[in-house]
Structure 1
């Protein structure tokens, strides 16, 4: 019987998909979300662009004869890239480091899946690097590994090549769009895979009750899909309504406009409003914990990311009233910022003042006194950047309060129930700042300590 080109490869991958589905039923949707196509150009084996899984048939047949389990892992490896949306997060990153980071994150996840169909041999260099990553972050994610590599001192080109060979499974060249049409399709695929990821997250909870396997997948999805770590969206909640000089097309009624032109020839009855109401950040307090356990470079990174977000056109007015208060067990410094350009200058010369124990109460007492003196017109909130180990106030203030933790909030020192709590990792700050070229001079990511 004669087989057409690609027919054997398609049969192999369909068999692999069925075996994976029998073991991981909660991945049914993503496993069936890629088309299968033979492509001799996929010289490195398997690959995906988010729409299709492409493969080199000669390579696939050889691998399948050697180890069916390896092809199982390779197929799932490609699917996990899509579920975790690695393809669409590559923009602006070092391509070699991002490739290593994505493959390492997926392989760390696969190592946690105790299924016979995915069993693999031991690779000492791979295991050593993943142990190193596990010590630097709570959950091994592509962003976390990328930042870890970026900050890894003495990493040579030879080291990168060695890590790439250690973790390489699929061809990432297909991740790069080659035309404007592909770029538009890529954005649509990103939205599609985000929906698939959320559906998988829900299905996985049900699958876990039956099999008790796959905790790592749940953890990664929780990290990838959690909404409360979008620091940009979080900061916008402190914006207050403000009337700005800007046309408001939403409130414009075209019926009266065209009726006036019809009735009088060239005189509309109404014209667009010249002002509109937008939410802008003007009055804000940023408190910084300067106790012994606080690192000055981390504080600077946090303030720099905050500056980047405030400088976005949707949230800031050039004239602001931001007080940056440094406090350990007493208020050590209060720096008033009235122009965002001044904030950038302040950060370039920022020094941490303090170094004693932690007590959050003095900041709230100081802020209440400033409100009484009329130093704020409309204080929307106070953001307190801290490790969380200190004495919290018992009484809720008149303004909204948020405690931002870099890392996990300590369980022994729970924040009061009236306060907002936000846990950030370094990758979250990096993600918030990566599109801002100005921050390259302000934040030296490679100098930041492990958390």
Structure 2
């Protein structure tokens, strides 16, 4: 007797989907979003998805289901979470080996926290458990982005990466990378679809669970990270601008009706004239502190300062005459460069060198800035922006000015960031996107060489 394994595989997937829906009703749309397609043409030997369909091997599905029904349920949900967390759309430009491991780790860490019998794991692999525990100790929420940065930073050898890949791999990720422009556009559309679906899932969860999130808390935390809007550092920087009058007409405050009525009534004498000044928010007094300890990369500092420089020189935020102090500090203040106008800013960035390389202590910067304020060096200091990896000693008391700590990547859970501080988490793509937006308007942005320490 011959069996149609593809048909059997599809029936198993339908049964799995129905069982998962009974336990995860808030994921109804996501669970049904993938059509089932035989993966013979793509030579899929397990399961794979491109965000539009789930490609499967009927033989593999049947064998896995016979071995463990809960294992098959877990595998199906594994693929769905890849889509909901937008791992497919974020794969471009990343090391495929590290990104695959990072995504599988993030999903398995999430599944491990969900106490549902239908996805219970019989035997937990020590390698998998140890790595998840390691990541959980460093991150508040284990995300693919966080694990990817960890793997990049640690530079593990091929054997170690191969061991992790074997321990976590459930599905095939080969369809994540588009092969042509048409597939790339389709992937962008799919990524937007899953973004909308993640937001809908969050909305349903809030409605169903109300105040007691219970079992859904872990899913909610991951989705909040996945659907987080791209960080616009340019908009964030503008919050430190102060209102001031500039010599420009204000069309919003000018009434053309009275103006034209006067011209009609008296010939060439309007009843009102346009205002000669308008109020805008411009950056004048500001402190930018840069963590120059050994844990901070010169390349990331360069990118941060280049982006900040490009934004500050924008005519919308930057006045001709300013008072900006750029501090470099590790365990003490190593440099204080005063910027008074655009020309000085350009000159500073052309000769910038990284100074420091010791341990990190944030307190000397705040003590130094307090001394500057007491000495009357600022007219109206709006705030201090501190670019750092987050590892260091923080001041106990809140300063009189607004303070923002800008982190490149989610800081580890063990870092006690003060509750009074503004936190902004930037990823390298966030900085790159902001820099690209500004470069479109400021095409003459200077290129800098590598930043040596002095």
TM-score by length of 2: 0.71
Structure 2 CA distance, aligned partners of 1:176 and 1:329? Answer: 44
The residue number in structure 2 matching 1:29 is 29
Deviation at 1:300, TM superposition (A): 5.2
Q: Please give the root-mean-square deviation of Cα atoms over the aligned residues, in Å.
A: 4.2
The residue number in structure 1 matching 2:377 is 370
Q: Name whichever of 307-316 and 99-108 sits farther off.
A: 307-316
- Structure 2 vs 1, CA of residues 226 and 80 (structure 1 numbering), >3 Å: closer, same or farther? same
Is the aligned partner of 1:343 residue 2:349? yes
Secondary structure class of the residue paired with 2:236: helix
Q: Is the 8 A contact 1:327 1:354 kept in 2?
A: no
Structure 2 CA distance, aligned partners of 1:45 and 1:114? Answer: 26
The residue number in structure 2 matching 1:119 is 120
Structure 1 CA distance, aligned partners of 2:404 and 2:414? Answer: 13
The residue number in structure 1 matching 2:253 is none
- Structure 2 vs 1, CA of residues 29 and 281 (structure 1 numbering), >3 Å: closer, same or farther? farther
Q: Is the 8 A contact 2:294 2:359 kept in 1?
A: no
Structure 2 CA distance, aligned partners of 1:12 and 1:31? Answer: 14
Deviation at 1:145, TM superposition (A): 0.7
The residue number in structure 2 matching 1:244 is none
Q: Is the 8 A contact 1:326 1:353 kept in 2?
A: no
Structure 1 CA distance, aligned partners of 2:163 and 2:99? Answer: 14
The residue number in structure 1 matching 2:91 is 90
Q: Is the 8 A contact 1:287 1:363 kept in 2?
A: no
- Structure 2 vs 1, CA of residues 366 and 172 (structure 1 numbering), >3 Å: closer, same or farther? same
Structure 2 CA distance, aligned partners of 1:443 and 1:201? Answer: 46
- Structure 2 vs 1, CA of residues 73 and 404 (structure 1 numbering), >3 Å: closer, same or farther? same
Is the aligned partner of 1:297 residue 2:304? no
The residue number in structure 1 matching 2:141 is 139
Secondary structure class of the residue paired with 1:169: coil
Deviation at 1:353, TM superposition (A): 8.3
Structure 1 CA distance, aligned partners of 2:225 and 2:298? Answer: 24
Secondary structure class of the residue paired with 2:327: strand
Is the aligned partner of 1:47 residue 2:54? no
- Structure 2 vs 1, CA of residues 284 and 334 (structure 1 numbering), >3 Å: closer, same or farther? same
Q: Is the 8 A contact 1:284 1:382 kept in 2?
A: yes
Deviation at 1:218, TM superposition (A): 1.7
- Structure 2 vs 1, CA of residues 8 and 232 (structure 1 numbering), >3 Å: closer, same or farther? farther
Q: Could you report, residue by residue, the CA deviation over 1:83-127 in whole angstroms, capped at 9, with x for unpaired residues?
A: 111111112211101111101110111111111110112101111
The residue number in structure 2 matching 1:99 is 100
Structure 1 CA distance, aligned partners of 2:176 and 2:74? Answer: 20
Structure 1 CA distance, aligned partners of 2:16 and 2:394? Answer: 50
Deviation at 1:434, TM superposition (A): 6.4
* Counterpart pick for 1:225 among 220, 227, 236: 227
Q: Could you report, residue by residue, the CA deviation over 1:111-147 in whole angstroms, capped at 9, with x for unpaired residues?
A: 1111111011210111111111122222111011111
Is the aligned partner of 1:38 residue 2:29? no
Structure 2 CA distance, aligned partners of 1:71 and 1:55? Answer: 12
Q: Is the 8 A contact 2:334 2:356 kept in 1?
A: no
Number of aligned pairs?
389
Structure 1 CA distance, aligned partners of 2:405 and 2:355? Answer: 21
The residue number in structure 1 matching 2:249 is none
Structure 2 CA distance, aligned partners of 1:11 and 1:440? Answer: 59
Deviation at 1:150, TM superposition (A): 0.9
Q: Is the 8 A contact 1:331 1:363 kept in 2?
A: no
Secondary structure class of the residue paired with 2:93: coil
**Structure 2: 5+ residue stretches without partners:** 244-279, 437-446
